[in-house]
Structure 1
Amino acid sequence: MTETPAITVTRLWLIRHGEPDAEVRGRCYGRLDFGLSADGRGQLQPVAKRLASESLSAIYTSPRKRTLESAEIVAAHHACGVRIENDLREIDFGDFEGLTYDDIAKRYPELYGQWMEHPTKVEFPNGESFSKTRARVTKAVAMLLDRHAGQSVALVTHGGVIRIVLAGALSVPSANIFRIAQRYAAVNLIHFVGNHPVVELINGVLS
């Protein structure tokens, strides 16, 4: 009699960074690098407390300061430390980086209109397209899931990246991806039963 192979269950925690420093609020930012505000660091404390009892095998973060600082707060309760995964970075908005939305509308009126109407179809000047971002994020997460099959792993990253992972798990098309909310320091959880995702939590905000 042939034995049925055991099915592995992998727990993937997706955590958005906390509130950013005040100087970039109201501006377009992806590649732009800056840290957390005092409130942002405070937002991560209940997240760290919630995950303190979770046996995390690894904590991965994008290379941006806001995610790295957030990941270090979570990692304070774990022995695995923090690993940087470059492909978990947010989309690069190119020439839009650091500009206010009013500035973008004035300087690039046609492209701004396209962005507001079809946000996932625009390729930002000297930046990335959404399709390229989705491809790199999807590839990176698949690699990490394969590396940590049967374990519990946390990715501390950006709202756009998390939406991409959740959209993939839920078969949400790119055009509808912004229907998925992601507040600062939001907690999300997906169980992968073998290769089949089961979304357990979306946009959980702890206090």
Structure 2
Amino acid sequence: MITLYLIRHGQTVWNSSGRYQGRTDVALSEKGIAQAEKTKERFRTVSLDGVISSPLKRAAHTARGIAQTHGLPLETDARLKELSFGDWEGKTYEEIEKIWPGMIEAMYHDAGTMKLPHGESFADCQKRCMEAISDIIKRGDNKTYAIVCHGAALRTIICGLIQIPLSRSWNLALSNASVSQVLIYPGDMNMLYMLNDTSHLGGLKSGS
């Protein structure tokens, strides 16, 4: 069995203002930094064999403390970057709806193939993310890894690991600095053991 802890980055200013981030390299807010510290403490007593992160600042900052606590190098993998929201990045739901009427709701109900304006589809994102996850799993059995990345990317990973259609990816709530856990078994018998746990954050919880 392999244990994967799937961790979403802490809050950014764009998270708090409802702006789509995607590949834009937005740093953690003060609250996000505090959430990252709480997440680091949560993993202090968890045995880890590796910490792998998206290279975007908000994820790498969240992951760095976890790696340092365990004396592990922080590995970054560009395949774990967030879904590219293309022209939507930096805009709110309302701003997107005004420029591209109906398109944002179509994305939320799409089977994963709809490409965003100058961006990716969920299927594109899942393909590269699952390649990264597959390489981690191939490192060997009886290992435990912390993987830190982004909301949409993590949704595609969870869907891929437990064979949920991408059309249901937005049914998975994933708050800032939340922890999910998937147990990897032979024969595609993977188990979603924990989803969106924010118990370590106390009063620092934020939305999905």
Alignment of 1:1-207 (within 5 A): 9-21=1-13, 25-118=17-110, 120-195=112-187, 196-205=189-198, 206-207=200-201
8 A contact 2:181–2:193 mirrored in 1? yes
8 A contact 1:62–1:157 mirrored in 2? yes
Task: Show the counterpart of 2:205.
Answer: none
Secondary structure at 1:147 match in 2: coil
8 A contact 1:14–1:189 mirrored in 2? yes
How far has the Cα of 1:176 moved from its partner? 0.9
**TM-score of the superposition, structure 2-length normalised?**
0.87
8 A contact 2:96–2:104 mirrored in 1? yes
8 A contact 1:15–1:157 mirrored in 2? yes
8 A contact 1:67–1:157 mirrored in 2? yes
8 A contact 2:82–2:150 mirrored in 1? yes
| Distance in 2, Cα, partners of 1:172 & 1:92 | 21
| Distance in 2, Cα, partners of 1:61 & 1:202 | 19
Percent identity over paired residues:
28
The one-letter code of the counterpart of 1:135 is K
- Give 4+ residue runs of structure 1 displaced > 4 Å after superposition: none
- Gap regions ≥5 residues in structure 1: 1-8
Secondary structure at 1:30 match in 2: coil
8 A contact 1:20–1:35 mirrored in 2? yes
Compared CA separation, residues 148 and 122, structure 1 to 2 (3 A): same
Q: Encode CA deviations 1:63-118: one digit per residue, 9 max, x unaligned.
A: 11100110112223111121110100110011111122222122222534533543
Task: Give the alignment's Cα RMSD to 1 decimal.
Answer: 1.9
**TM-score of the superposition, structure 1-length normalised?**
0.88
The one-letter code of the counterpart of 1:201 is M
8 A contact 1:24–1:98 mirrored in 2? no
- Gap regions ≥5 residues in structure 2: 202-208
| Distance in 1, Cα, partners of 2:138 & 2:17 | 36
